[in-house]
Chain A
Amino acid sequence: MKRTLAYITLVLLLAACGGRQNCTPSGSAAPMMPDYTDITLPCNIAPLNFEVEGADALRLEIVGGQSYHFRSRGPQLRFPMKAWKAMLQAETGGTLRLTLDARYGKQWTRFAPFQWTVSPDSLDRYLSYRLIEPAYEVWNVLSIEERDVESFKTRLLADNTITESTCINCHTANRGDGPQVSFMHVRGKKGGTLYQKDGQIRKLNTATDSTAGAAVYGEISADGRYGIFTTADIRPILHSGRFDKLEVFDASSDLILLDFENGTVTDAPLVKGADFQETFPCWSVDGKTIYFCRAPALPQPAGTYDMRYDLYAIGFDPRTGRLGDTLTKVVDAAAAGKSVSFPKCAPDGRHILLSVSDFGTFPIWHHETDLWLYDLQTGAIDTLPGVNGRYADSYHCWSSSGRWICWASKRDDRLYGRPYFAHVSPEGEVSKPFVLPQKNPRTYLTTLKSYNIPELYRTEESYDAAFVSRFYSRMETEKMHYVR
């Protein structure tokens, strides 16, 4: 029986070669770099250029509603932009069957066919990320780049070589249907938080005498009026083991609420104090709940290995701008020996995507970090085994439609983060991830930069690096004031 099956398979593979001369069916998966086999892709993504190492020529047949043929001399296949866009437009909502042949010397090899499902759910057009070398503590060059995901165009939003080498981080957009709002922290002597609302830019000093420091991790409410942030004393320390390079812990951390309209900072007894550490707040879709991570405070760094954060929720009244007076534990991660970070609410209001590590509060340096999907309706947790890679998956975000997630994954080499995407169905099923395509498919192999904090948004950011340089050196800072 086995022999018969093998014979039939061989015959089918030979038949699949379609009469091309010298084509040997290998039966193995296409060794394409990056791996774009059997994925769901958005209908507006840039060409998924790839390379087959060592190949002298490539030919790719794509069969959907129509047939498409692409060829290359050399190991890389770079799709012509026009043909690619036309293909996606024609095949949106369909499934494509791809057959890849590679020539090594004079011999053609055919790999196992694979599929692409072209989702009608488009991706937000713009993606920002921070490019930084994973140099543990020191850096001298970092930038924040904006990528048009429909093409390969990039643009610098910030470049610390023209802002006195200062740290720049956390470019984050709101996901509301109303005004387009974003923020970004520019540190350093002349820095401040860059708050942008419909193209109007303010430079804010969010530190007050009554709070522990400036705003760090956080989100802006959908209407752009409020911001909920961590304020923390963040410190790094080095591991000795092979897997986790660096531990970043909070000597202390609280939450602060910013009212951008009134220029005020406030907090509440339940989200501050020395007994607990609170961090990574995010808004619910209706803006009436704030989710955040909370753990009992332990002496640091001795207690670092025992710090496990649970997911909590606290009410918020957008009319009064006041935080509620009760806390609800949403996910008891510590009971499972885990620690959650970066909760991010899906725009459909049903799910929260979390980073989950064994301990601590800086998941990107924890090799075991995975993404978990928490269902707010059922309380079920999906550990996303088909999505998580070997190494850290963290710094995630949702597209404004809620149908795509993007995150920084170190799955390829444990050290360098790369932006990966996956489709999320209305039922919460998440597809196989794929990496942001690049014009040169070897980019990720040779770049020494890590792609951190990817953030999806719909409209092009209103400023660029030259503006941020002026923002840093010349713009007046607005001092925010603490109110009880």
Chain B
Amino acid sequence: MMKRKLHILVLCLFGLAYWLFLAIGYHGHLHAAEGDSIFLFTPDYAADTLLRPGGAANYLGDFIVQFFHLPWIGALLVALLLTGLAAAVASFRRSDALLPLALVPSLAYAVLLCDAKWTIAGLAGLTAAVAIAAAIARIRVPGLRIAAALMALPLTVWMFLLPQFYIYLKAPAGLYAGLVLLTAAICVLLALVKAPTPKTWISGTAYVLLLAVCAFGISRKYERLDEEIDRYVFLVRTSDWDGILRKAGKEELHSPLSTNAVNLALEMEGRLGEEMFRFYQRGGRSLINFEEKKMSSEILFRLGFVNEATHLAFEDMAANPSRKRGVYHLTRLARFTAVDSSNRRLTGKYLATLDRTLFYRHFNPQTGVRPEMEPPADFLFNYGDFQAMLEKLAEQRPDNTPVRNYLAASYLLTKNLQPFEDRFADEPNPPAAHREALQMIHTLRDGASYPQLQQYIDAYGRARGKESGMGRYANTYWYYYNFR
């Protein structure tokens, strides 16, 4: 009895810890998973999903993933699934001797879930399959039990255990099959072995060891950089500019994509030219990276490159490895296409699908982008020369402030100062970065003198061109020009 209480306590502690880990430490990942997924409350969707191999697992998985919209709820459901799996495995035990083993599949899946390739559908399918097996094992009449098992086995495999093989061929199907077999082996072992109950300290040590291995696995699998990017993507997609700047103010930026988000947030807050060099910048990639389509599509959209943004949004949706057309993809397309008020039908198409979801049924595609920001005259877009594309749009739309500011930032980041001066020398109230760049141009070319710049030059001379010792100028364009 003591062992059972200990087991329940460990299970509860594990569930609680994993819930907190997901909700606090991995909510960017949860938002990304939710954005790539969709669950529709329609009979057609149910039929289409359930009739496929592994469809029931996918249906359950998508149902749970939609709650990642509210990370605390979504994380709780995942923690409950993991503890449910452990409880279902434990129900096979003949004695409490090997009870800690019942935790193994849950702990293993908890580690694997840190890898985006591992889905909630797989966990839901495994949990459902073990629960069905446990229910059949409780049938007392042997003949009936065998008959039920024979009937349930193919059906359970078809409904709950095939998704990893069928839907996600690129996911580690062999490893998933191994995990399913391991779970089955543990269930069989628990059902067969009737050994004397070990002392509490032995069981306790076993639990501690298992939990330690799990924690170690999670620490190894945890994708810190991906999580940072996922969080910034989420903040961009929800237009939480203040949230981005608060986050960037607290922690270092580890990825150019994070810098992309920060620069966009600065622009949306009207502070790009004033504050961009407060944050780590490095070359033109600090503004946009076309290899990552979520962030770059959002940036292009807010600059007025609506067709290019829609292009990347489509490519991103088509490249979704789960092959689903997730809620983020649809809301993004709804927002992007809504700029063209003459074609409401296209936006309506995406809204018609979103209308059948739980959290996006009243989605309002606020764009924040005016049609007057778009290029009035068509030109062919070259992803290889973003600066030239900014120049073209800035020429066509002189009132497009974001494009004008991004063009200035692009010149500064690529140290392309002549065209910067040509275009921005006559700004009435230049922001700090522009002012510093212009002062530098005037000093270098004409020998003009500016007190602050002169102080910087003196300090630079004292430091003999080395970065150390120049920290107090780290927020200036001069520093960027010399050291990045």
A133: nearest residue on chain B (CB-CB)?
B318
A135 to B352, CA, bound (A): 19
User: Of residues B311, B318, B379, which shows the largest number of chain A Cβ atoms within 10 Å of its Cβ?
Assistant: B318
B44: nearest residue on chain A (CB-CB)?
A440
Does B111 lie at the interface of the complex (its beta carbon under 8 Å from any beta carbon of A)? no
B310: nearest residue on chain A (CB-CB)?
A245
- CB of A136 within 8 A of CB of B315, answer yes
A304 to B380, CA, bound (A): 10
Convert A108-133 into 0s and 1s, putting 1 for each residue whose CB lies closer than 8 angstroms to a CB of B. Answer: 00000000000000000000000001
- CB of A240 within 8 A of CB of B317, answer no
A448: nearest residue on chain B (CB-CB)?
B325
> Which residues of B lie under 8 Å from residue A416 when comparing CB positions?
346, 349
Q: How many A-B residue pairs have CB under 8 A?
A: 90
- CB of B317 within 8 A of CB of A413, answer no
Does A198 lie at the interface of the complex (its beta carbon under 8 Å from any beta carbon of B)? no
- CB of A241 within 8 A of CB of B307, answer yes
Beyond A240-B378, A304-B380, is A412–B323 a contact (Cβ under 8 Å)? no
Within the complex, which residue of B318, B346, B353 is in contact with A446, where a contact is CB–CB below 8 Å?
B353
Does B340 lie at the interface of the complex (its beta carbon under 8 Å from any beta carbon of A)? yes
Within the complex, which residue of B314, B380, B389 is in contact with A301, where a contact is CB–CB below 8 Å?
B380
Show 30 residue pairs from A and B whose CB-CB distance is below 8 angstroms, ordered by the A residue: A135-B314, A135-B318, A136-B315, A138-B314, A138-B319, A140-B320, A140-B323, A161-B323, A237-B380, A238-B311, A238-B383, A239-B381, A240-B305, A240-B307, A240-B308, A240-B375, A240-B389, A240-B393, A241-B307, A241-B378, A242-B340, A242-B374, A243-B378, A247-B380, A304-B380, A413-B343, A414-B346, A416-B346, A446-B349, A446-B352
Q: How far is the CB of A410 from chain B (nearest CB, A)?
A: 10
Beyond A238-B307, A442-B352, is A141–B323 a contact (Cβ under 8 Å)? yes
> Which residues of A lie under 8 Å from residue B310 when comparing CB positions?
245
Please provide the chain A residues from 168 to 193 with a CB less than 8 Å away from any CB of chain B in the complex: none
- CB of A135 within 8 A of CB of B315, answer yes
A172 to B194, CA, bound (A): 68
- CB of B307 within 8 A of CB of A242, answer yes
Does B484 lie at the interface of the complex (its beta carbon under 8 Å from any beta carbon of A)? no
- CB of A134 within 8 A of CB of B346, answer no
Does A88 lie at the interface of the complex (its beta carbon under 8 Å from any beta carbon of B)? no
A141: nearest residue on chain B (CB-CB)?
B323
Does B195 lie at the interface of the complex (its beta carbon under 8 Å from any beta carbon of A)? no
Q: How many residues of B contact A (CB 8 A)?
A: 35
> Which residues of A lie under 8 Å from residue B317 when comparing CB positions?
133, 135
Does B377 lie at the interface of the complex (its beta carbon under 8 Å from any beta carbon of A)? yes
Please provide the chain A residues from 143 to 200 with a CB less than 8 Å away from any CB of chain B in the complex: 161
Beyond A239-B380, A240-B378, is A412–B305 a contact (Cβ under 8 Å)? no
B392: nearest residue on chain A (CB-CB)?
A240
A356 to B241, CA, bound (A): 46
- CB of A136 within 8 A of CB of B314, answer yes
> Which residues of B lie under 8 Å from residue A242 when comparing CB positions?
306-307, 340, 371, 374
> Which residues of B lie under 8 Å from residue A368 when comparing CB positions?
none
> Which residues of A lie under 8 Å from residue B311 when comparing CB positions?
136, 238, 245-246
Q: How far is the CB of A483 from chain B (nearest CB, A)?
A: 39
A242 to B315, CA, bound (A): 18
> Which residues of B lie under 8 Å from residue A442 when comparing CB positions?
352
Beyond A245-B311, A413-B346, is A238–B323 a contact (Cβ under 8 Å)? no
Does A137 lie at the interface of the complex (its beta carbon under 8 Å from any beta carbon of B)? yes
Q: How far is the CB of B321 from chain A (nearest CB, A)?
A: 8
Q: How far is the CB of B385 from chain A (nearest CB, A)?
A: 13
Does B345 lie at the interface of the complex (its beta carbon under 8 Å from any beta carbon of A)? yes
Within the complex, which residue of B325, B343, B381 is in contact with A240, where a contact is CB–CB below 8 Å?
B381
Does A415 lie at the interface of the complex (its beta carbon under 8 Å from any beta carbon of B)? yes
Does B368 lie at the interface of the complex (its beta carbon under 8 Å from any beta carbon of A)? no
- CB of B377 within 8 A of CB of A241, answer yes
